[in-house]
């Protein structure tokens, strides 16, 4: 999704903005641009394509204040004209925008009828014209009034030629963070953009505006009430968000998983584990709500929570949950408030945020499992279970998936213990098992060379199936998602038992099947499914635990996982499939960290 940065200080603004935009590349984009305050007014430089294309076209500039943008097209194709900043008729007002304006078409046709000429196909272009209309010498007031005319989601930043040194920014739904340096200030969509310059940040809230200069930051709301910024110190540094010798962020992040698990594990699960909400009430049901990889973590969590607590759990796509009919309390049948667990690494996914809002409106308790403390989701739920994977830059989620699953296991164990479903020795055994996770994951990482060889045998596939049962099923879904998003090969995840209800018709020597063989009560059934695959001459690759004789009998291609309690297999198999997807994509020469059409933070619906 689009990325926003802004700088006011005494440094070289174009260099700082370009550098900061590069740190937001992971969000996905198709064009970039900057606007600078210069002696004779504003200058705009924007280009379709990679940031380097815009950078190479930049003349030497000495400006010290400016704004920058990476665009991920929503309204209007990727092009120089549609890139941001967008300007008003005089070219004195420049606006960058992340989000979508719902009423832009009405506003635009009204303006066009009044003779205003539009130069782009974007929704954003209405904003500089609106600001121009309301401008009366005070930029902040003009922006505030203009925002009163629009509906939709936005984070914006605005420059006006008559206000050198000043940036006005605002947010509604799309994220925005302020960075506090020495004699300089920053704004950005996400902290990795500015962490090279400062670790002191404050998050802008929905409905707030910021007026920023080198020396001052003023936050106000739509009514003009001032709020003091709440400055926080980031607990990760620039080095944490660098590639550190790895060919891609994705690979680096796969290898960071043992540490991420270690840092996210709570010292004990006997006491409260959710910040801001105790769980000592009768939980009638749990809904886990998320998107993409986070949803797959939620599906793994469902099995474990239901096994340990007997509380019914349903797992919902956030995009469906947000429009589901309100829960009716028919005849008092819902005697206990439901718990809704929202999972999001970024905490900025539009559908998940909307689902949190709906859940609260419906009277549910809400808990977020999230990797970003100051995110919108973290601040709009009753309780939070924070994961500590550090920044994840690669578009494909890897380390955050593992810590999300770990958080759900911790939640399951805590709920089971606090409801007397397990006793203290059992709780301690679980804690011990969870402490072994970094070690098991480390062992999978050591088997990378075997996985690389197997990956090479998959690159010519016309389509791939990932199958699993029980805890292996969500991992099959995740394996397929990881592969398709970074390698562009078509892949589907299936419950192994469903193969014969349709997909078997597609099997051939060109459609490899990857089976996730959990050593649990479903193992024998999965072996039958693998036999069915082998009988159709589809190449079979098995992800199995050490000592799985069936796997070795049925296929020469086996990724062996360390022998662990089968309940921990989603972690080891998950990592093996991440490496498999990575090496297939690498062999195919794909843009692994920035797959086409995808964005890291999906901040529009």
**Is residue 352 involved in binding ligand F6R (CB under 6 A)?**
yes
Q: Rounded distance, CA 204 to CA 450, Å?
A: 47
Q: Rounded distance, CA 94 to CA 44, Å?
A: 8
- Can you read off the two tokens belonging to residue 148? 């009163």
Q: How far is the CB of 301 from ligand F6R (least distance, A)?
A: 14
Is the Cβ of residue 434 or residue 599 nearer to ligand F6R in the bound state? 599
Is the Cβ of residue 293 or residue 555 nearer to ligand F6R in the bound state? 293
Q: How far is the CB of 370 from ligand F6R (least distance, A)?
A: 8
Q: Which of 32, 189, 349, 578 binds ligand F6R (CB under 6 A)?
A: 349
Residue 351 burial (CB count, 10 A): 23
Give the strand pairing for 65-71 and 31-38.
antiparallel
**Is residue 393 involved in binding ligand F6R (CB under 6 A)?**
no
Q: Which stretch binds ligand F6R (CB under 6 A): 6-14, 238-246, 253-261, 342-350?
A: 342-350
**Is residue 397 involved in binding ligand F6R (CB under 6 A)?**
yes
Sheet holding 540-545, edge to edge: 491-495, 464-468, 513-517, 540-545, 557-561
Q: Rounded distance, CA 469 to CA 552, Å?
A: 19
- Can you read off the two tokens belonging to residue 89? 């008729």
Helix (H) or strand (E) holding 314: strand 313-317
Is the Cβ of residue 43 or residue 294 nearer to ligand F6R in the bound state? 294
Q: Which stretch binds ligand F6R (CB under 6 A): 61-69, 253-261, 341-349, 569-577?
A: 341-349
For residue 85, is the peptide bond before it cis, meaning its omega torsion is within 30 degrees of 0? yes
Question: Residue with the closest Cβ to ligand F6R?
Answer: 292
Q: How far is the CB of 289 from ligand F6R (least distance, A)?
A: 10
Which listed residue (2, 211, 291, 370) is catalytic? 2
**Is residue 250 involved in binding ligand F6R (CB under 6 A)?**
no
Contact 604, 597 (CB under 8 A): no
Q: How far is the CB of 437 from ligand F6R (least distance, A)?
A: 20
Is the Cβ of residue 27 or residue 171 nearer to ligand F6R in the bound state? 27
Q: How far is the CB of 401 from ligand F6R (least distance, A)?
A: 8
E strand segments, 444-512: 464-468, 491-495
Contact 398, 579 (CB under 8 A): no
**Is residue 416 involved in binding ligand F6R (CB under 6 A)?**
no
Q: Which stretch binds ligand F6R (CB under 6 A): 45-53, 60-68, 137-145, 344-352?
A: 344-352
DSSP-derived secondary structure letter, 275: B
**Is residue 198 involved in binding ligand F6R (CB under 6 A)?**
no
Q: How far is the CB of 247 from ligand F6R (least distance, A)?
A: 18
Q: Which of 209, 602, 603, 604 binds ligand F6R (CB under 6 A)?
A: 602
Coil, strand or helix at 544? strand
Is the Cβ of residue 87 or residue 604 nearer to ligand F6R in the bound state? 604
**Is residue 264 involved in binding ligand F6R (CB under 6 A)?**
no
Q: How far is the CB of 21 from ligand F6R (least distance, A)?
A: 20
Q: Which of 31, 198, 199, 344 binds ligand F6R (CB under 6 A)?
A: 344
**Is residue 199 involved in binding ligand F6R (CB under 6 A)?**
no
Any bridge partners for residue 385, and if so which? Answer: 369
- Can you read off the two tokens belonging to residue 538? 């589809």
**Is residue 190 involved in binding ligand F6R (CB under 6 A)?**
no
Q: Which of 202, 340, 386, 396 binds ligand F6R (CB under 6 A)?
A: 396
Q: How far is the CB of 290 from ligand F6R (least distance, A)?
A: 6
Is 600 an active-site residue? yes
Tell me the H-state helices in 178-256. Answer: 249-255
Q: Tally DSSP H helices, then E strands, for the chain.
A: 18, 25
First to last CA, the chain: 11
Q: Rounded distance, CA 123 to CA 87, Å?
A: 12
Is the Cβ of residue 487 or residue 560 nearer to ligand F6R in the bound state? 487
Contact 142, 92 (CB under 8 A): no
Encoded one letter per residue, x for contact with ligand F6R by CB under 6 A and - for no contact, window 277-296 reads --------------xxxx--
Which listed residue (252, 482, 594, 600) is catalytic? 600
- Can you read off the two tokens belonging to residue 221? 């709301």
**Is residue 189 involved in binding ligand F6R (CB under 6 A)?**
no
Q: How far is the CB of 592 from ligand F6R (least distance, A)?
A: 11
Is 291 an active-site residue? no
Q: Which stretch binds ligand F6R (CB under 6 A): 242-250, 343-351, 432-440, 468-476?
A: 343-351
Encoded one letter per residue, x for contact with ligand F6R by CB under 6 A and - for no contact, window 468-507 reads -------------x---x----------------------
Which of 67, 59, 80 lies closest to 17, judged by CA? 67
**Is residue 346 involved in binding ligand F6R (CB under 6 A)?**
yes
Q: Rounded distance, CA 98 to CA 52, Å?
A: 21
Helix (H) or strand (E) holding 203: strand 200-203
**Is residue 219 involved in binding ligand F6R (CB under 6 A)?**
no
Q: Between the CA of residue 578 and those of 272, 462, 510, what are the distances in Å?
A: 32, 20, 22
User: What HEC string does 151-169 produce?
Assistant: CEEEEEEEEECCCCCCEEE
Q: Rounded distance, CA 212 to CA 219, Å?
A: 9
Q: Rounded distance, CA 498 to CA 269, Å?
A: 37
Q: How far is the CB of 132 from ligand F6R (least distance, A)?
A: 36
Is the Cβ of residue 63 or residue 602 nearer to ligand F6R in the bound state? 602
DSSP-derived secondary structure letter, 505: G
Q: Rounded distance, CA 496 to CA 491, Å?
A: 14
Q: How far is the CB of 99 from ligand F6R (least distance, A)?
A: 16
Is the Cβ of residue 198 or residue 344 nearer to ligand F6R in the bound state? 344
**Is residue 586 involved in binding ligand F6R (CB under 6 A)?**
no
Which of 537, 533, 536, 535 lies closest to 516, judged by CA? 533
- As annotated, the active-site residues are 2, 600
What is the contact surface with ligand F6R in residues (CB under 6 A)? 291-294, 344-346, 349, 352, 396-397, 481, 485, 602
């Amino acid at each position: 999704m689009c990325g926003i940065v802004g700088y006011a200080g005494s440094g070289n603004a174009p260099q700082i903005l370009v550098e900061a935009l590069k740190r937001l590349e992971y969000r996905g984009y198709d064009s970039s641009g900057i606007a600078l305050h210069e002696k004779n007014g504003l200058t705009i430089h924007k280009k379709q394509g990679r940031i380097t294309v815009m950078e190479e076209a930049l003349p030497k500039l000495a400006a010290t204040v400016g704004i920058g943008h990476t665009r991920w097209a929503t309204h209007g194709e990727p092009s120089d004209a549609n890139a941001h900043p967008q300007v008003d008729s005089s070219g004195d007002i420049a606006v960058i925008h992340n989000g979508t304006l719902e009423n832009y078409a009405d506003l635009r046709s009204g303006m066009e009828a009044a003779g205003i000429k539009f130069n782009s196909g974007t929704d954003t272009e209405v904003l500089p014209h609106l600001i121009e209309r309301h401008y009366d010498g005070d930029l902040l007031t003009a922006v505030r009034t203009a925002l009163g005319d629009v509906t939709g989601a936005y984070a914006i930043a605005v420059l006006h030629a008559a206000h050198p040194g000043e940036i006005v920014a605002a947010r509604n739904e799309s994220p925005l963070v302020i960075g506090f340096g020495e004699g300089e200030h920053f704004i950005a969509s996400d902290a990795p953009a500015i962490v090279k310059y400062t670790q002191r940040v404050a998050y802008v809230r929905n409905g707030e505006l910021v007026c920023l200069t080198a020396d001052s930051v003023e936050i106000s709301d739509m009514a003009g009430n001032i709020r003091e910024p709440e400055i926080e110190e980031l607990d990760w540094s620039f080095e944490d968000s660098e590639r550190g010798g790895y060919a891609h962020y994705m690979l680096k992040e796969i290898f960071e998983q043992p540490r991420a698990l270690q840092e996210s594990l709570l010292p004990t699960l006997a006491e409260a584990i959710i910040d801001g909400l105790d769980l000592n009430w009768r939980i009638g049901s749990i809904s886990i709500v998320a998107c993409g990889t986070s949803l797959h973590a939620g599906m793994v969590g469902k099995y474990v929570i239901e096994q340990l607590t007997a509380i019914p759990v349903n797992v919902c796509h956030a995009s469906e949950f947000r429009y589901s009919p309100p829960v009716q309390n028919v005849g008092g049948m819902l005697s206990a408030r439901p718990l809704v667990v929202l999972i999001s690494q970024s905490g900025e996914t539009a559908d998940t945020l909307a689902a949190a809002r709906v859940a609260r409106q419906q009277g549910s308790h809400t808990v977020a499992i999230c990797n970003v403390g100051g995110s919108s989701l973290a601040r709009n739920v009753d309780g939070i279970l924070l994961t500590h994977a550090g920044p994840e830059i690669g578009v494909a989620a890897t380390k955050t998936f593992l810590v999300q699953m770990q958080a759900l296991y911790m939640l399951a164990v805590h709920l089971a213990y606090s409801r007397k479903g397990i006793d203290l020795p059992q709780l301690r055994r679980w804690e011990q098992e969870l402490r072994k996770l970094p070690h098991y994951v480390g062992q999978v990482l050591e088997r990378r060379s075997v996985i690389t060889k197997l990956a090479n045998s998959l690159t010519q596939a016309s389509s791939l199936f990932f199958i699993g049962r029980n805890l292996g099923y969500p991992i099959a879904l995740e394996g397929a998602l990881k592969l398709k998003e970074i390698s562009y090969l078509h892949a589907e995840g299936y419950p192994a038992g469903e193969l014969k209800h349709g997909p078997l018709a597609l099997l051939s020597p060109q459609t490899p099947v990857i089976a996730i063989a959990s050593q649990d009560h479903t193992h024998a059934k999965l072996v039958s499914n693998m036999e069915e695959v082998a009988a159709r001459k589809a190449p079979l690759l098995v992800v199995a635990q050490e000592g799985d004789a069936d796997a070795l009998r049925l296929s020469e291609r086996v990724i062996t996982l360390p022998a662990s309690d089968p309940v921990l297999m989603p972690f080891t198999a998950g990592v093996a499939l991440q490496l498999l997807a990575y090496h297939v994509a690498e062999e195919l020469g794909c843009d692994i960290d920035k797959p086409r059409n995808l964005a890291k933070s999906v901040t529009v619906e």
